[in-house]
């Protein structure tokens, strides 16, 4: 039974790769990268043979704690695995304990589990000078990695009940995304405070070694330091942690087998057309209304929207670290760029719902224009506001016209370029209702080529604004900035009109092929 579950997991992995060569190539590239990182970790662990025991202890305990914490938190944001989740297996008469074992082992043989297990086991490599400790480290590595996998399972199954409502799930996904975006500054702030007192790390490691997260990782070094009693105590903490996690997981799984996830729906009366009552009653206007509703209601779009306020905050932080305003000033153009190129995913996000546009014979140009104008309605004010605010805070008013010109040029240019690329290519995007952070295997690599081409074309299209902004900043001559603004404001709509026209023409011709691809990806 256990073996069957593990085989099922591997089979699903293999078959999902078989579906398309592109996905296979992407997964191979991803695997090579993972192996490279893993190799570095293993080499690093062996290199620690040359380091004093205290340093080894600090590194292993802290890294182990972060790893364990990561396994506990990440499953909440990324759907780790759908194949072997409880609803799929609930119909089979599998004894609960066998199910638990099977799920545990299949978790270890999946890619993240395997990498964790290998890295953990190789902690023995740091103890070649003391063979007894090395064996102990090996065992602790296995226990630590097992705890990681169990922890992620326990968290997922315990959270499944809490987060079963669609609205709750979607809201939580986005709210949690904001600290993730700002993770850089948070880590940097922590790191800079740590740098000021480097001796904090060993004491932090000492503290972590008494917590459920770090206890297991501290056992070998505790013995090596000549403190067997401390090692035993930490082993007890570790064993207790594993036992508690196991009980929680068992309880969560047993419950999720008999209470499948379902969402309750509110029923409201008709009469509320929302944006459809306000925007022009043309195909393009209707598409713009629909896109706007999606931008503010669909987590996959909201995730991209969160970037608008997060990006200036992020850059403000970094420039305050480096005491240079340059990075902060780039926020406006960058927000313009990011909002412009988001359109590349638009048709892919529609998934097979795009068939409605096809069956109603929507002209390609109306489709393109509707999608682009939806982004413009909130993107243009956002870009102007961000540029004004960043310039205002830094008092670099001389840079304002050039920056504004570039920001507008990038927004319109991005929309124009993506109006064409999204008519040529769709890629496996998270399906409607999926976790917005889920990446489908191969999606990134498939998107990479077209993204780079789009960005290249975008750089060409906005070259005048870029050159003029650089001239303005280098010479300090405000005139160049003003020319940049005029060029941006004049060129931007022309670029977009061309993009909509070309993209619309391509969509008219290639619609059926696009639909076939969307059906394949669905």
Partner 1 sequence: MTDAVNPPTSPSGYAPPTPDAAAALSIRGLYKSFGQKRAVDGISLDVPAGSFYGLVGPNGAGKTTTLSMATGLLRPDAGMVTVHGIDVWQHPLAAKAQIGVLADNARLFDRLTGEQLVVYAGLLSGMDRPTAVSRTKDLLQLLDLQDAAGTLVVDYSAGMTKKIALACAMVHAPRLLVLDEPFESVDPVSAANIRDILGGFVRGGGTVIVSSHVMDLVQRMCDHVAVITNGHVVASGTVDEVRGGADLEDRFVELVGGRRVQEGPEWLQHS
Cβ burial of 306 (10 Å; 0-12, 13-18, 19+) is middle
Residues 412-441 contacting partner 1, CB under 8 A = 431-433
Least distance in angstroms from the C-beta of 518 to partner 1: 9
Residues 113-172 contacting partner 1, CB under 8 A = 166
Q: Which is nearer to partner 1, 178 or 263 (CB)?
A: 263
Contact between 515 and partner 1 per CB under 8 A: yes
Contacting residue, 276, 326, 452, 456, with partner 1 by CB under 8 A: 276
Q: Phi then psi for 296, rounded to 5 degrees?
A: -105, 5
Q: Which is nearer to partner 1, 202 or 363 (CB)?
A: 363
Contact between 358 and partner 1 per CB under 8 A: yes
Residues 279-318 contacting partner 1, CB under 8 A = 281-283, 285-287, 289-290, 293-294, 297-298
Structure tokens at 497: 């009109």
Contact between 357 and partner 1 per CB under 8 A: yes
Separation in Å, CA 508 to CA 169, 243, 358, 364, 515: 37, 61, 9, 5, 12
Interface segment toward partner 1; rule CB under 8 A; list 29-37, 361-369, 384-392, 436-444: 361-369
Q: Which is nearer to partner 1, 129 or 520 (CB)?
A: 520
Nearest to 224 by CA among 457, 58, 370: 58
H helices present in 259-363, as ranges: 283-297, 299-305, 307-322, 326-329, 331-341, 346-350, 355-359
Q: Phi then psi for 359, rounded to 5 degrees?
A: -75, -25
Contact between 359 and partner 1 per CB under 8 A: yes
Q: Which is nearer to partner 1, 229 or 361 (CB)?
A: 361
Interface segment toward partner 1; rule CB under 8 A; list 12-20, 79-87, 188-196, 273-281: 273-281
User: How far apart are the C-alpha atoms of 67 and 493, rounded to whole Å?
Assistant: 49
Contact between 49 and partner 1 per CB under 8 A: no
Contact between 203 and partner 1 per CB under 8 A: no
User: How far apart are the C-alpha atoms of 182 and 312, rounded to whole Å?
Assistant: 11
Least distance in angstroms from the C-beta of 519 to partner 1: 8
Structure tokens at 164: 């079963």
Roughly what angle, to the nearest 10 degrees, separates helices 331-341 and 307-322? 150
Q: Which is nearer to partner 1, 198 or 267 (CB)?
A: 267
Separation in Å, CA 39 to CA 50, 236, 452: 18, 32, 29
User: How far apart are the C-alpha atoms of 257 and 54, rounded to whole Å?
Assistant: 46
Least distance in angstroms from the C-beta of 378 to partner 1: 17
User: How far apart are the C-alpha atoms of 169 and 177, rounded to whole Å?
Assistant: 12
Contacting residue, 229, 258, 361, 474, with partner 1 by CB under 8 A: 361
Q: What's 84's DSSP letter?
A: T
Q: Which is nearer to partner 1, 229 or 265 (CB)?
A: 265
Contacting residue, 203, 324, 352, 475, with partner 1 by CB under 8 A: 352
Range 168-171 contact pairs with CB under 8 angstroms and sequence separation of 24 or more:
170/299
Contacting residue, 121, 208, 362, 447, with partner 1 by CB under 8 A: 362
Q: Which is nearer to partner 1, 102 or 299 (CB)?
A: 299
Residue 294 CB-half CA count within 13 A: 22
Cβ burial of 160 (10 Å; 0-12, 13-18, 19+) is buried
Interface segment toward partner 1; rule CB under 8 A; list 7-15, 208-216, 275-283, 402-410: 275-283
Contact between 522 and partner 1 per CB under 8 A: yes
Instruction: Print the SS3 string covering 441-476.
Output: CCHHHHHHHHHHHHHHHHHHHCHHHHHHHHHHHHHC
Sign (positive/negative) of CA torsion 95, 101, 102, 107?
positive
Contact between 453 and partner 1 per CB under 8 A: no
Residues 162-181 contacting partner 1, CB under 8 A = 166
Q: Which is nearer to partner 1, 72 or 289 (CB)?
A: 289
Contacting residue, 39, 179, 228, 274, with partner 1 by CB under 8 A: 274
Least distance in angstroms from the C-beta of 171 to partner 1: 14
Question: What value, to the nearest 5°, has the Cα angle with vertex 174 and ends 168 and 175?
Answer: 85
Least distance in angstroms from the C-beta of 353 to partner 1: 4
Q: Which is nearer to partner 1, 205 or 515 (CB)?
A: 515
Q: 389-426 b/e with 16+ CB inside 10 Å = b?
A: ebbeebebeebbbbbbbbbbbbbbbbbbbbbbbbbebb
Least distance in angstroms from the C-beta of 510 to partner 1: 10
Contact between 196 and partner 1 per CB under 8 A: no
Contacting residue, 190, 322, 477, 513, with partner 1 by CB under 8 A: 513
Contact between 271 and partner 1 per CB under 8 A: yes
Binding site for partner 1 (CB under 8 A): 166, 263, 265-274, 276-277, 281-283, 285-287, 289-290, 293-294, 297-298, 350-353, 355-363, 431-433, 512-513, 515-516, 522
């Amino acid at each position: 039974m256990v073996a069957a579950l593990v085989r099922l997991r591997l089979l699903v992995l293999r078959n999902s790769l078989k579906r398309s060569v592109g996905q296979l190539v992407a997964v191979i590239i991803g695997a090579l990268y993972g192996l490279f990182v893993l190799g570095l970790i293993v080499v690093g662990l062996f290199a620690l043979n040359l380091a004093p025991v205290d340093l080894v202890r600090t590194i292993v305990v802290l890294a182990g704690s972060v790893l364990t914490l990561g396994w506990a938190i990440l499953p909440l944001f990324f759907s780790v695995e759908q194949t072997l989740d409880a609803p799929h297996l609930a119909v089979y008469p599998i004894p609960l304990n066998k199910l638990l074992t099977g799920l545990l082992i299949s978790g270890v043989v999946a890619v993240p589990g395997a990498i964790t297990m290998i890295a953990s086991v190789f902690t023995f490599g740091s103890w070649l000078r003391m063979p007894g400790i090395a064996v102990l480290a090996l065992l602790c590595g296995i226990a630590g990695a097992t705890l990681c996998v169990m922890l992620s399972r326990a968290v997922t199954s315990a959270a499944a009940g809490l987060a079963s409502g669609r609205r709750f799930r979607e809201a939580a996904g986005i709210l949690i995304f904001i600290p993730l975006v700002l993770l850089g500054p948070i880590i940097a702030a922590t790191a800079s405070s740590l740098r000021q007192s480097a001796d904090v790390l060993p004491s932090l490691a000492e503290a972590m070694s008494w917590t459920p997260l770090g206890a297991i990782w501290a056992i070998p070094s505790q013995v090596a330091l000549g403190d067997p009693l401390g090692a035993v105590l930490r082993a007890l903490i570790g064993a207790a942690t594993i036992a508690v996690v196991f009980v929680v997981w068992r309880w969560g799984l047993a419950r999720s087998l008999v209470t499948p996830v379902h969402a309750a729906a509110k029923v409201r009366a008709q009469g509320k057309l929302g944006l459809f009552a306000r925007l022009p009653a043309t195909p393009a206007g209707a598409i713009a209304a629909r896109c706007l509703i999606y931008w503010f209601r669909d987590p996959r779009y909201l995730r991209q929207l969160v970037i608008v306020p997060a990006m200036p905050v992020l850059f403000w932080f970094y420039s305050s670290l480096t005491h240079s305003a340059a990075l902060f000033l780039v926020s406006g153009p960058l927000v313009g760029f990011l909002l412009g190129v988001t359109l590349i995913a638009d048709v892919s996000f529609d998934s097979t719902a795009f068939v409605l546009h096809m069956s109603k014979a929507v002209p390609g140009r109306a489709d393109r224009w509707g999608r682009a104008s939806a982004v413009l309605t909130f993107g243009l004010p956002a870009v102007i506001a961000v540029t004004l605010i960043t310039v205002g805070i830094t008092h670099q008013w001389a840079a304002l016209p050039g920056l504004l010109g570039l920001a507008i040029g990038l927004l319109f240019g991005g929309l124009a370029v993506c109006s064409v690329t999204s008519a040529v290519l769709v890629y496996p995007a998270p399906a409607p209702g999926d976790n917005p952070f889920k990446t489908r295997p191969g999606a990134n690599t498939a998107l990479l080529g077209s993204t780079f081409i789009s960005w290249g074309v975008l750089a060409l299209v906005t070259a005048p604004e870029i050159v003029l902004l650089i001239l303005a900043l280098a010479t300090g001559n405000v005139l160049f900035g003003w020319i940049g603004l005029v060029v941006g404001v004049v060129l931007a709509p022309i670029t977009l009109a061309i993009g909509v026209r070309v993209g619309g023409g391509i969509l008219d011709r290639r619609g059926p092929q696009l639909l076939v691809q969307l059906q394949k990806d669905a």
